[in-house]
Amino acid sequence: MNIRELNKTNLPIIRIDDSLEKYKKMPLFQEKIDQANETLKKVGLPQVVKSKLK
């Protein structure tokens, strides 16, 4: 895909920066993750997904 074609798509252009690697293993936003886990444990995924998995 050339630049002109790429610019026509909705795909964002991302610059790779290896200095961000350090954040991958950091326990950031832990409160939110705990909250998400709590919610997902209670309600799971939408019904349409559950039925697709059956």
**Chain positions contacting other proteins, by CB under 8 A:** 10-18, 20-24, 26, 28-29, 32-33, 35-37, 39-49
User: Which residues lie below 8 Å from residue 6, measured CB to CB, with a gap of 6+?
Assistant: 13
Question: Shortest Cβ distance from residue 29 to other proteins (Å)?
Answer: 4
User: Which residues lie below 8 Å from residue 44, measured CB to CB, with a gap of 6+?
Assistant: 50
C-beta closer to other proteins: residue 2 or 46: 46
C-alpha Rg value of the chain to the nearest Å? 19
C-beta closer to other proteins: residue 2 or 22: 22
